Chains A and B, each alone.
Chain A
Amino acid sequence: MLLRHTTKEIKERQALAVNPAKTCQPIGAMYAALGIHNCLPHSHGSQGCCAYHRSTLTRHYKEPVMAGSSSFTEGASVFGGQANLLQAIDTIFTVYDPDVIAVHTTCLSETIGDDIPQIAKKAEADGKIPAGKYVIHANTPSYVGTHVTGFATMTKAMVDYFAEANGHKVDQINIIPGYVEPSDMEEIKRIVTELGLRSVMFPDTSNVLNRPQTGRFDMFPKGGTTVEAIRSSGNSRATIALGRLASGPAARALDSKCKVGCEILELPIGLAATDVFVDTLRRIGGVSVPESINTERGRMLDIITDMHQYFYGKKVGLVGDPDQLISLTEFLVSIDMWPVYVVTGTKGKKFEARIKEITRDVPHEVKVAAGGDMFLFHQWIKNEPVDLMMGNTYLKYISRDEDIPLVRFGFPILDRVGHSYFPTVGYRGGMRLLEKILDALLDKKDKDAPEESFELVL
């Protein structure tokens, strides 16, 4: 029993996170910045931050992850990190030659009070930023928000620094995909193209963190949104932001800066949320939904109807990030499963209210914790178990101890592959999720069935 330490009795904790369901802002900022073409994310803090983020992203994506660090020392922490960042900017442009350096701060540099725009200005005045190259920044102190808000802030920085309206509208739609996998970003682009629409999507980590084996190590892979494309987002017809928390700030910034109207949708995970996404595209783009998309939808629906008896009344425990959990909960409720425990490490009253709203007809008590952790989640399970858990790899301890099947979903996934290649968004992604859920439930059923009721056909 790995988690024998989990007590059944739940006492309120105020000073402590145990087995967190979140991590800190900078890694989200680094992940977002990797979705800009020819961009080197840069961690303005101690070397450890950068090393940890790179290692964690590498474990999740099984890809090299490049980022620079200001390599703070004792001196920098006393006198400020300006000299380090100036040196870093010079080093990076001289040696690695990216188009963009995307600086994010850390708890250390925030508390010292380093002013990144001022330092960048100084670098520019000193001639350390070559023509046509950029230094952008996001403030991401680790003691505020979570990895999700860090992602949102860096995504908004892309708008703040690059988006421009020149008065000439371009026939394209902006898509801000949210804190999702490269595979999801790819799928979202495919759906948009399938509808015959042109889009600019940022950030875009496809072909950065799910790139093919080429026999080469490229410091800057093929993927990522170009600065040019992000700049043109200021002239787009509209913005569709997926995920209120991760994409909302960038979409609203684009609206106020360039007067590009936005629709902030929930992530297209599951049938209903994908319907909303596709319908919004149709409406904004003034197109009709092609037969190919209808077929995909029909297939997803077919799995749901064919297998609905196995979903009915299954209790599910979910741990993950708010945007994902909202859509996932809605999806599960729509196929008659009961998401009874929903935990995220990111605080938010709106999140709790939305989950309550989605689950109000679930014939079972539903516990929600925003700002919760996996220790609490496990305590709930000890008091009343569930049939299935969905969440990141860290749920595998509970899965093993309590013998509850686990569908890996979210960040980080450290022990399986697939998430970076196969989407969970859209109808096709929905089919994959259904397959994973059914595999988990039915494998367990087969494993546990007494011999006399072990059946060939399910």
Chain B
Amino acid sequence: MSSSASIIFEERKDQIVRKGQGAFDMDCNRESLAGAVSQRACVFCGSRVVLYPIADALHLVHGPIGCAAYTWDIRGALSSGPDLHRLSFSTDLQEKDIIFGGEEKLYRALSELIDRHHPKAAFVYSTCIVGIIGDDLEAVCQRVSKEKGIPVLPVQSEGFKGNKREGYGAACKAMFRLMGTGDISDISPLSINILGDFNLAGEIWIIREYFERMGIQTVANITGDGRVADLQRAHGAALNVVQCSGATMELAKMMQEGFGTPVMRVSYFGVEDMAESLYQIARFFEPKDPGIMERTTELVKTELSELYPKLQEYRRELAGKKAAIYVGGAFKAFSLVKAFRLLGMQVVLVGSQTGTEEDYRELYEITDEGTIIVDDSNPLELSSFLKEKDVDVFVGGVKERPIAYKLGVGFCDHNHERKQPLEGFVGMLNFAREIHSSVMSPVWRFVPRKKAR
């Protein structure tokens, strides 16, 4: 279609692939083209996302007010207890701090906050400006840590040092420093840490319950409903299960090297991936506890027998509808493609902000002919693809939602603004319900573009 070809930057042509048109050859992990209306964010954003759900820690943003203001409680990462993470703390750097340095201010801010809120640990986020003026975060953190007797960890998340992915890395480094310090004597041989799940809409509680039924102890849900003490003894777990690999795989690797904790990649989205993840974990523990496989099979059977009949109702109406996916990390996209297939729907566009070549190759493998695969896209491209493919529902995040709605296309937030748990077997049902309610909504009848037909 000529209209969509014309809005693609010459420089971005290699970041877009149409399955079935030539061999897979995709360029990604490039810096965004300056001037493009990219949907990407920065290093600080990545760090903030990963660490934010550690609820009993203090999160102090060292920088001008914006960085703290824009990240104030915008992610629905739920906590079952403390909620210090939902407050916004900023050193609110002013011009004179830029000139004379912000270390003293940071010291005073930290001291005051720790005295008032008694957090179990403190994370101090570096921002662009701090990287430029050269405040010694490490030194200030060490000083305060010594004085207050809690871990105070610098997060080297200067925004300009890359994209979100580098931010994940900085967060992982900070978390790793907490590990290896807690008492692990009471940890079961059948134990795991949950990495890369943010407990959006309470999802981690669903997953933890599955593990409980399998007889597995969860030591630390590191990035969702997280607790400092859990992180400190996370090295005692027998296995790390990693979902959002972009965000936490680096931590898992550090733990593997440091403590010998094996790693397993999992996904809790969709029926296939959810079940396979549980089986995979069961197989891992089977030598230690031969009964685990039976318990797991029973769990999956129970859940599926409840889920499938309900799912069929949605499938009947959704079959043949077309979906588009644009998400932060590519790993989530794999599960989404499968989940849509289960609903009988066709994925015609799939893309991510930060996927790797390997990720896109896998997407290429699992998608149908004609599917558009795109890296680091922008609103103009996305909207033209949505129109070209005559999509019924778009799955994305906050910046994608209004684009879909303006075009008169259904939408499902599969990012941090989801209001329903989408993980686990029950999550698949919620997902189906949400997709169904948006796709089948009568409101789209009023959309001029559709009326004109």
Give A45 to B127 CA distance when docked, in angstroms: 12
Supposing A84-B34, A215-B448 touch, asked if A47 and B68 sit within 8 A by C-beta, the answer is no
Q: Are A217 and B448 in contact (CB under 8 A)?
A: no
B42 within 8 A of A: yes
Give A213 to B398 CA distance when docked, in angstroms: 18
Closest B residue to A94 using CB positions: B9
Give A328 to B347 CA distance when docked, in angstroms: 51
Give A69 to B11 CA distance when docked, in angstroms: 16
Contact partner of A345 (CB less than 8 A), chosen from B64, B65, B133, is B65
Q: Are B70 and A56 in contact (CB under 8 A)?
A: yes
Q: Please tell me which stretch of A139-147, A247-255, A352-360 contacts chain B, meaning at least 4 of its Cβ atoms lie within 8 angstroms of it.
A: A139-147
Q: Are A49 and B379 in contact (CB under 8 A)?
A: no
Give A146 to B65 CA distance when docked, in angstroms: 9
Q: Are B92 and A17 in contact (CB under 8 A)?
A: yes
Given A20-B69, A70-B35, 15 other A-B residues pairs in contact with their CB atoms under 8 A: A15-B106, A23-B65, A49-B159, A52-B71, A64-B379, A68-B35, A69-B34, A69-B38, A76-B160, A87-B34, A88-B34, A108-B128, A111-B129, A213-B448, A215-B450
Q: Are A47 and B93 in contact (CB under 8 A)?
A: no
Give A22 to B88 CA distance when docked, in angstroms: 12
A305 within 8 A of B: no
* Residues on the A chain within 8 Å of B107, using CB: 15
Q: Are A68 and B129 in contact (CB under 8 A)?
A: no
* Residues on the B chain within 8 Å of A46, using CB: 42-43, 128, 159-160
Contact with B along A1-13 (1 / 0, CB 8 A): 0111101000001
A219 within 8 A of B: yes
* Residues on the A chain within 8 Å of B383, using CB: 217
Q: Are A213 and B447 in contact (CB under 8 A)?
A: yes
Q: Please tell me which stretch of B112-120, B145-153, B184-192 contacts chain A, meaning at least 4 of its Cβ atoms lie within 8 angstroms of it.
A: B112-120
A-B contact count (CB 8 A): 258
B126 within 8 A of A: no
Q: Are B161 and A74 in contact (CB under 8 A)?
A: yes
Contact partner of B84 (CB less than 8 A), chosen from A5, A107, A218, is A5
A91 within 8 A of B: yes
* Residues on the B chain within 8 Å of A143, using CB: 64, 93-95, 97-98, 129
Q: Which of B9, B63, B160 has the most CB of A within 10 A?
A: B160
Give A215 to B104 CA distance when docked, in angstroms: 54
Q: Can you name 13 A-B residue pairings with CB atoms under 8 Å?
A: A5-B84, A15-B105, A16-B89, A45-B159, A46-B160, A47-B41, A47-B42, A54-B399, A71-B31, A76-B160, A77-B128, A107-B93, A215-B451
Q: Are B379 and A217 in contact (CB under 8 A)?
A: yes
Q: Please tell me which stretch of B212-220, B400-408, B426-434 contacts chain A, meaning at least 4 of its Cβ atoms lie within 8 angstroms of it.
A: B400-408
Q: Which of A16, A63, A141 has the most CB of B within 10 A?
A: A16
Q: Are B63 and A107 in contact (CB under 8 A)?
A: yes
Q: Are A17 and B35 in contact (CB under 8 A)?
A: no
* Residues on the A chain within 8 Å of B92, using CB: 16-17, 20
Give A95 to B5 CA distance when docked, in angstroms: 12
* Residues on the B chain within 8 Å of A5, using CB: 84, 87, 116-117
Contact partner of B90 (CB less than 8 A), chosen from A20, A51, A53, A73, is A20
Q: B44 to chain A: closest CB distance in Å?
A: 6
Q: Are A112 and B98 in contact (CB under 8 A)?
A: no
Give A217 to B3 CA distance when docked, in angstroms: 13
B66 within 8 A of A: yes
Contact with A along B115-149 (1 / 0, CB 8 A): 01100000000011101110000000000000000
Q: B16 to chain A: closest CB distance in Å?
A: 14
Q: Are A16 and B70 in contact (CB under 8 A)?
A: no
Q: Are A48 and B406 in contact (CB under 8 A)?
A: no
B36 within 8 A of A: yes
B162 within 8 A of A: yes
Q: B176 to chain A: closest CB distance in Å?
A: 23
Give A7 to B161 CA distance when docked, in angstroms: 37
A72 within 8 A of B: yes
Q: Are B41 and A7 in contact (CB under 8 A)?
A: no
Supposing A46-B160, A51-B40, A71-B34 touch, asked if A15 and B91 sit within 8 A by C-beta, the answer is yes
B7 within 8 A of A: yes
Contact partner of B91 (CB less than 8 A), chosen from A16, A74, A92, A107, is A16
A85 within 8 A of B: yes
Q: Are B159 and A73 in contact (CB under 8 A)?
A: no
Give A94 to B97 CA distance when docked, in angstroms: 40
In the A-B complex, the 8 residue pairs with the smallest Cβ-Cβ separation, listed nearest first, are A48-B42, A24-B66, A215-B449, A88-B35, A91-B35, A142-B64, A46-B159, A52-B70
B163 within 8 A of A: yes
* Residues on the B chain within 8 Å of A213, using CB: 405-406, 408, 446-448
A67 within 8 A of B: yes
Supposing A87-B35, A91-B36 touch, asked if A15 and B45 sit within 8 A by C-beta, the answer is no
Q: Are A23 and B38 in contact (CB under 8 A)?
A: no
Contact with A along B154-172 (1 / 0, CB 8 A): 0000011111000000000
* Residues on the B chain within 8 Å of A85, using CB: 34
Q: B76 to chain A: closest CB distance in Å?
A: 12
Contact with A along B322-338 (1 / 0, CB 8 A): 00000000000000000
* Residues on the A chain within 8 Å of B133, using CB: 111
* Residues on the B chain within 8 Å of A2, using CB: 83, 86
Q: Which of B70, B93, B108, B402 has the most CB of A within 10 A?
A: B70
Within 8 A of A (CB), among B238-273: none
Q: Which of B93, B112, B128 has the most CB of A within 10 A?
A: B128
* Residues on the B chain within 8 Å of A47, using CB: 32, 38, 40-42, 159, 163
Give A67 to B39 CA distance when docked, in angstroms: 10
Give A214 to B449 CA distance when docked, in angstroms: 7
Contact partner of A95 (CB less than 8 A), chosen from B7, B90, B403, is B7
Q: Are A66 and B37 in contact (CB under 8 A)?
A: yes
Q: Are B70 and A144 in contact (CB under 8 A)?
A: no
Q: Are B42 and A19 in contact (CB under 8 A)?
A: no
Q: Are B32 and A69 in contact (CB under 8 A)?
A: yes
Closest A residue to B383 using CB positions: A217
Give A216 to B43 CA distance when docked, in angstroms: 33
Supposing A2-B86, A143-B129 touch, asked if A55 and B379 sit within 8 A by C-beta, the answer is no
Give A5 to B59 CA distance when docked, in angstroms: 14
Closest B residue to A219 using CB positions: B380
Supposing A20-B88, A46-B160, A144-B94 touch, asked if A216 and B449 sit within 8 A by C-beta, the answer is yes
Closest A residue to B70 using CB positions: A52
